[in-house]
Chain A
């Protein structure tokens, strides 16, 4: 990312004033991001996006007026109205339910990160970059929380994945490349390739579909196997 010549132009929507300013400072100190505006609610966010046409928006999941999941609604609306703008949703919930809600209409240009990520500016910036390029990112903690579930809860595909494959999937969810995964798991890149193909097959995905999205699709298929009421046999 150090090779980026142009800074990414973002808008931040966060109702907590201190955190809003903290996030702005943090992103600006990274040198890769230019914060065009910071707003406190969804309405102001839509206005800012119309006015400033940023590359990406960083949106708090809970915003006025109801402090529920306004951030997710806003992210999906922005993606629908401005397909060129990526959205990173910052959430305090590690539950996969919210990620799934966010990715309902598609995964392109959307990221679901826990707010803790503001402590790791590189990761935050990497997610911003990914969404501007049309990619997707899911917070590793969200995936981990799923992995900690007992195998008895298994429905659908999870039971069929080996432990190693689940590890590879977790790394994929973080938007890592094959080389990144091989580095993280101390295995060869060809082994990673083999695992990914196996995962794709088990999840019923087209292994020839290349790129970042098929990785997220894999994670989503994985997540989907946990959705309530989805009693896959």
Chain B
């Protein structure tokens, strides 16, 4: 695709955003709905919570936020792929938790109150506890199944069907135990102090052997299943690669957060620090569980779900999670301190903890930024890298490629394309359907081309990205302007050669020819006077010799054959007059072709200079000259069998440096390979497009 100036002129501003994400709006509504629901529940619950001593407000918030986040993820997965069992398991997990929490803590205690059996309705309490505990069992089963099923929603192998059926069969038994247990609750406070998630005996003040056996069975089964779960996960991580490996790592992270919480959920004295920790732990654990699955889903496309959720939104959610954890940690520390020290000391300690954790929060936020948007180079590093890159090359093509690469890395973009007029386009990444940002590559009023780029799926170029983009493009444009100027100077030199050659041919040479004619006329008029005729003959011979010299001079300055016959003729002509063996090989694509006059001149004078070097320095007995056309490039190679030189030494001399400068200025490339005793190969390529900048 050729880039047209039309595209540039249509760009009204320096930076142009186009397109709007439709899915963006729908997602935003979904998230708002979820958060609104959470807010309503929170306000309802908080009034109830205040009446209970067991559950602090903040811990309750953590629970709700965690459950809401998991429910959102599950809903998203179901929405995207209804047939996938994982979405339902995630939703089921969150749903069971919320039912359990609501039945157990939030709706339960406000209505039933706390204290001895005399102060509350025992049958209502028993029912709520039965519902809550049953829900927790379902949550645990969902959790285990979530880990058992593989990427495609199936079990690791057919044999695992037995395990699955066992789990399905064991769940009602567990639920039956919980219901039976709830039916024996007499004193809520006493029961709360002894309750664990696996306990069937807690409610009974006088446990019998059946309870103990059930307890042992429950704890054994749970242990076996958690071990199996870990084994399956470990096995999958071992054989996974790339993206799938990242997904599994995040899932492992999510599950360990929940497992840590469950393992710590043991009977403890009610007023100890461990009890406070137990109270505070579920919220962060559930949030981290949501974070793990969220990362696997959004960043690594878990279960092949292409969630069209803006990365900025994901980042926003992550920020909320981090802020929540931060507030939770600070408040939790404050509560722990409050339990141990006088209120004044506790406040000071809490304030200190807040300050101490502030850098951690900043760090976490930057980590989240990297997770979501990828690793970015600092603006200074980006500018430095671009500067170093363009310093090494004068070709607009190279500059375009360096610019595209640098921008793609610095701003972590999905797609960058740089079109410089007269050069092939430079493209990095894959085009997507995100908003396109366009920016003209221009210096002053001179527009060299256009930069187009797209952020990664779901991302957006930030306000702080645009100045960096402009700075990078500006620097590249300056480099191109310099390269163009160098090319203009070189081309102006060649133009000057052509002008001098014209003046010699049409001026001095004609005058001298006329002089010769006049001498011939004078000789004819001399009527055979031998002395005069002899003088005139001698003068005429001198004049003709000068004419010959002048022809040679003009030939050296700018060969007429180059202008009238082209590069191939001129090089053949030049080679034919060398005093050593020459073999000229003209590629079939170049034979009979005329190229832009600037390209022909650059390639010719390069070859002539290289041949001069061969004659002067190499002591070669033979030289091979090869020319061919490769797409839009002319390749020239001059190979001799001379003494060669050490490429690192100065022997190559100013000749090669001069050649390099000229070719670079022209937008070409030069390679020299030589070693002492093995001759020298000088090869150069010259562009045939975008070289008409010499017309001043």
Q: Residues of B contacting A226 with CB < 8 Å?
A: 572, 576
Q: Which of A26, A92, A153 interacts with B509 by CB under 8 Å?
A: A92
| Residue A67 at the chain B interface, CB threshold 8 Å | yes
Q: Which of A29, A62, A95, A228 interacts with B521 by CB under 8 Å?
A: A29
| Residue B626 at the chain A interface, CB threshold 8 Å | no
**0/1 per residue, A109-128, Cβ < 8 Å to B?**
00000011011110000000
| Residue B514 at the chain A interface, CB threshold 8 Å | yes
Does B510 contact A19, Cβ atoms closer than 8 Å? Answer: yes
Does more than half of chain B's interface fall in helix, strand or loop, or is it mixed? helix
A142–B505 alpha-carbon span in the complex (Å): 17
A26–B568 alpha-carbon span in the complex (Å): 38
Most buried by A among B565, B577, B586: B565
Q: How far is the CB of B67 from chain A (nearest CB, A)?
A: 81
Does A93 contact B560, Cβ atoms closer than 8 Å? Answer: yes
Given the interface pairs A93-B560, A119-B543, A150-B581, the reply to whether A228 lies near B591 with Cβ below 8 Å is yes
Most buried by A among B511, B521, B581: B521
Beta-carbon contacts under 8 Å, B547-582 to A: 547-548, 551, 560-561, 563-566, 568-569, 572-573, 575-582
Q: How far is the CB of B572 from chain A (nearest CB, A)?
A: 5
Does B561 contact A97, Cβ atoms closer than 8 Å? Answer: yes
**0/1 per residue, A136-157, Cβ < 8 Å to B?**
0000000000001110110000
Q: Specify the chain B residue showing the minimal Cβ separation from A15.
A: B506
| Residue A46 at the chain B interface, CB threshold 8 Å | no
Does B576 contact A150, Cβ atoms closer than 8 Å? Answer: yes
A94–B513 alpha-carbon span in the complex (Å): 14
Does B514 contact A119, Cβ atoms closer than 8 Å? Answer: no
A153–B586 alpha-carbon span in the complex (Å): 13
Does A92 contact B586, Cβ atoms closer than 8 Å? Answer: no
Q: Which of A22, A62, A67, A152 interacts with B517 by CB under 8 Å?
A: A22
| Residue B592 at the chain A interface, CB threshold 8 Å | yes
A152–B624 alpha-carbon span in the complex (Å): 11
Does B576 contact A116, Cβ atoms closer than 8 Å? Answer: no
A-B contact count (CB 8 A): 114
Does B577 contact A148, Cβ atoms closer than 8 Å? Answer: yes
A67–B509 alpha-carbon span in the complex (Å): 14
Q: How far is the CB of A120 from chain B (nearest CB, A)?
A: 7
| Residue A7 at the chain B interface, CB threshold 8 Å | no
Q: Which of B524, B543, B547, B564 interacts with A68 by CB under 8 Å?
A: B564
Does A228 contact B516, Cβ atoms closer than 8 Å? Answer: no
Q: Specify the chain B residue showing the minimal Cβ separation from A20.
A: B514
Does B516 contact A153, Cβ atoms closer than 8 Å? Answer: no
Q: Specify the chain B residue showing the minimal Cβ separation from A16.
A: B510
Q: Which of B516, B525, B540, B547 interacts with A29 by CB under 8 Å?
A: B525
Q: Which of B519, B551, B568 interacts with A228 by CB under 8 Å?
A: B568
A16–B509 alpha-carbon span in the complex (Å): 10
Q: Specify the chain B residue showing the minimal Cβ separation from A21.
A: B514
A62–B507 alpha-carbon span in the complex (Å): 12
Does A19 contact B514, Cβ atoms closer than 8 Å? Answer: yes
Q: Residues of A contacting B516 with CB < 8 Å?
A: 116, 118-119
Q: Residues of B contacting A67 with CB < 8 Å?
A: 502, 505-506
A143–B514 alpha-carbon span in the complex (Å): 24
Does B575 contact A153, Cβ atoms closer than 8 Å? Answer: yes
Q: Residues of A contacting B584 with CB < 8 Å?
A: 153
Given the interface pairs A22-B514, A228-B572, the reply to whether A121 lies near B561 with Cβ below 8 Å is no
Does A153 contact B576, Cβ atoms closer than 8 Å? Answer: yes
Does B582 contact A150, Cβ atoms closer than 8 Å? Answer: yes
Most buried by B among A19, A149, A228, A229: A228
Q: How far is the CB of B598 from chain A (nearest CB, A)?
A: 17
Q: Residues of B contacting A98 with CB < 8 Å?
A: 564
Does B582 contact A152, Cβ atoms closer than 8 Å? Answer: yes
Q: Specify the chain B residue showing the minimal Cβ separation from A152.
A: B581
A166–B544 alpha-carbon span in the complex (Å): 25
Q: Residues of A contacting B591 with CB < 8 Å?
A: 228-229
Beta-carbon contacts under 8 Å, A132-180 to B: 148-150, 152-153
Does B576 contact A149, Cβ atoms closer than 8 Å? Answer: yes
Q: Residues of A contacting B566 with CB < 8 Å?
A: 228
Does B544 contact A119, Cβ atoms closer than 8 Å? Answer: yes
A152–B625 alpha-carbon span in the complex (Å): 13
A106–B444 alpha-carbon span in the complex (Å): 57
| Residue B432 at the chain A interface, CB threshold 8 Å | no
Does B565 contact A95, Cβ atoms closer than 8 Å? Answer: yes
A29–B513 alpha-carbon span in the complex (Å): 17
Q: How far is the CB of B16 from chain A (nearest CB, A)?
A: 46
| Residue A4 at the chain B interface, CB threshold 8 Å | no
B residues in contact (CB < 8 Å) with A: 502, 505-506, 509-511, 513-514, 516-521, 524-525, 540, 543-544, 547-548, 551, 560-561, 563-566, 568-569, 572-573, 575-584, 586, 591-592, 622
Q: Could you list 24 examples of A-B contacts with CB < 8 Å?
A: A18-B511, A18-B514, A19-B513, A26-B517, A26-B520, A29-B524, A29-B525, A69-B564, A92-B509, A93-B551, A93-B564, A97-B564, A97-B573, A116-B516, A116-B547, A119-B517, A119-B520, A148-B576, A150-B576, A153-B572, A153-B576, A153-B584, A228-B565, A228-B569
Identify 12 new A-B residue pairs, CB closer than 8 A, beyond the known A92-B505, A152-B583, A153-B575.
A16-B510, A16-B514, A18-B511, A18-B514, A95-B565, A116-B516, A119-B520, A120-B520, A121-B520, A149-B576, A150-B578, A228-B566
A residues in contact (CB < 8 Å) with B: 15-16, 18-19, 22-23, 25-26, 29-30, 62, 67-69, 92-95, 97-98, 115-116, 118-121, 148-150, 152-153, 226, 228-229, 231
